Amino acid sequence: MMAQKIPFHFLIYSFYLIGSHTIAQTLEKVSPETVGISSERVDLLTRVLEDYVDQKKISGAVTLIARDGKIAYLEAIGMRDVEKGLPMEENTIFRIASQTKALISVGIMMLQEEGKLVLSDTLAKYIPEFNESTVAEATYYGYDVVPAERKITLRDLLTHTAGIDYGYGTAEDEWEAADIQGWYFAHRDEPVLETIKRMASLPNQAHPGEDYVYGYNTDILGAVIEIVTGQTLAAFLTERIFLPLEMQDTYFYLPESKSDRLAVVYSSEEGFIVRAPDEGTMESQGDYVKGPRKSYSGGAGLLSTAKDYTNFIQMLLNKGTFQGQRLLSRKSVEIMTQNHLGDIIFPWSSGTGFGLGFSTVENLGARGILGSYGEFGWGGAYHTTYWVDPKERLTVVYLTQLIPARKVDDHQKLRPLIYQALNDKKNYFSTFWLGE
């Protein structure tokens, strides 16, 4: 009997799951002063976060600040499981939700570089069910369903201008009847492509290119990756991103052997934490360990650690390289980090645009919070956030597990506490000649 040939990507993925614990992280941890950060001043961040834990505003957090490709600050504060008394650790695993989107966006750019797609392609080229999209236009009596004014492109999906929301818009009743609402997919007992095909028949919130509408765009792009490559999204990301970037603790569904490292989700309705339900909703512990393990959500499905995610965004800060290995071209990273909205207004923050997978800072004064022009980043539904500041050669990853996160202002304090710790002087040559 002839032996069955095992696909190469399956062998790679199996190696990753079985032996990834032997792979070493290579971002070096140094004294903060080495990279122009004051140890004394950055300790203020530690004390403030400890106060949030003591006041039961958050259960705990892991924060990683890297500068010049080196880890200047990595602190695990509080508990990953309050009830069991398990402390946060540097390698605690978190649900990163919409921070998944940036990885899928990079995957799409990789495929464009290989000539397997282009951003101007219509979505219908890959998923024919989207050939005749519709839009729900509000009327005095409800809404009318009309044909979309043009076809959705991959670039529309990357920039959230396709008009597709999370099912809570004008035609909310139809999306609810189809059981497609919200960003949570881990409970679904079907491949994500099957859900998305059903999504194609539902009315969208806006015409393509008309408005910024946050929704299922990146989940759809994840399905496109599966169609183009013939791999599951998990296998593609593992082979092309996780392994090269040494992201050994990043998964859609956690191996049982690592389940004790997964942080517990808490809720904050009145400003004090309460343990979230075990399963069944977006605001629960989720089905990331014992669920069906069938639906790979490119929009919000990944679990990761502060170190793993820092490796990923360090690659972007390095214009596509990590530890001497190029994953993406410099020009692809440049176009990803530009504002693509044109005349469309970003709805949630002044002075902010949106690139191909994350927000961009266009006017620092209009935004009104500390940072730099050219900074890019995003966050996740479980109260996680990250940003990349090329001007300051800085990356920040802040991970906690809080949904909903009401009456807590840790995110607002995070930036001032980090930027006040910068303690280096500008190089006159670079300031004069490079306009920094």
Whether cis (ω within 30° of 0) applies to the bond prior to 404 is yes
Any idea what the Cα angle at residue 59 is, between residues 214 and 376, rounded to 5°? 35
Check: CB of residue 216 under 8 Å from CB of residue 166: yes
Report which DSSP code applies to 69.
Answer: T
Name 177's Cβ contacts closer than 8 Å, sequence gap at least 6: none
Please tell me what DSSP assigns to residue 162: S
Q: Which two tokens stand for residue 423?
A: 């303690």
* Nearest CA among 66, 25, 68, 69 for reference residue 42: 66
pLDDT at 426: 58
Q: Are 371 and 234 contacting, i.e. CB atoms less than 8 angstroms apart?
A: no
pLDDT average per 10 residues of sequence, the chain (436 residues): 43 45 64 97 98 97 98 98 97 98 98 98 98 97 97 98 98 98 95 97 98 98 98 98 98 96 92 86 88 96 98 98 96 98 96 98 97 98 98 98 94 98 66 42
Could you tell me the CA-to-CA distances from 104 to 46, 206, 328 in Å, in that order?
32, 23, 13
- Where in 311-433 does DSSP place strands (E)? 321-322, 325-326, 352-354, 359-361, 376-380, 384-389, 394-399, 402-405
pTM of the model: 0.91
